[in-house]
Amino acid sequence: MKKVYGSASEALDGLLHDGMFIAAGGFGLCGIPELLLQAIKDDGAKDLTFASNNAGVDDFGIGILLQTKQVKKMISSYVGENAEFMRQYLSGELELEFNPQGTLAERMRAGGAGIPGFYTKTGVGTVIAEGKDHKDFNGETYIMETGIVADLAIVKAWKADETGNLVFRKTSRNFNPPVATCGRVCIAEVEEIVPTGSLDPDLIHLPGIYVHRIVQGEHENRIEQRTTRKA
């Protein structure tokens, strides 16, 4: 099975359509699949639902799709630092489903593992619990959360081999692996593709069985919060 594609647009060919559900990797500005997001913007698919820890910033990550009004709904845990997101949400143009960060990660992991739902204490007694099934275990109340299964998962990794085994760097490993597993189709953009067999099996973070398409490209290394001191 051929997994390596020449560009992000080629890797997305035949997969995009209006109204689809996309899970996107990234944590802050780390590990954002920026090339694939740009290709989705260029394609023009609209009424999209995204499950992602955050929505990037105004001119980067999912933020570029908010600018073009291609996103209908966000399932996220953190939406700060994006003025356009705030404007669209407050004006009623954008639907928002808030998830606690750990719950969102577990919903993605569960979906990838074939688990339709699970119980958690997180959110009990808050608006997060409204309308959800409650159940007591050992005298403690839990709420049920459902696993996430997306039409498409897009992730960004450091290295891949030609069969799709992935290695992530540092913080980008937080959300990208569970995102990759929960998509019916997963595309990974990477900084480097190496020959099959050259990655140490003990250092592979995500097996290639989850990855259907790979694209290599140049990526921007942004600093989310720059902190300096006086000389």
pLDDT in single tens digits along all 231 residues of the chain:
799 999 999 999 999 999 999 999 998 888 999 999 999 999 999 999 999 998 888 888 999 999 999 999 999 998 777 888 889 999 999 999 999 999 999 999 999 999 999 999 999 999 999 999 999 999 999 999 999 999 999 999 999 999 999 999 999 999 999 999 999 999 999 999 999 999 999 999 999 999 999 999 887 776 666 778 887
Query: Burial of 37 by CB count in 10 Å (0-12 exposed, 13-18 middle, 19+ buried)?
Result: buried
User: Residue 45: its pLDDT value, please?
Assistant: 97
Domain boundaries, the chain: 4-115+148-216
User: Residue 223: its pLDDT value, please?
Assistant: 66
Tell me the C-alpha distance between 73 and 84, whole Å. Answer: 14
Coil, helix or strand at residue 104: helix
Q: Does domain 4-115+148-216 correspond to CATH entry 3.40.640.10?
A: no
pTM across the whole model: 0.92
Tell me the C-alpha distance between 116 and 84, whole Å. Answer: 33
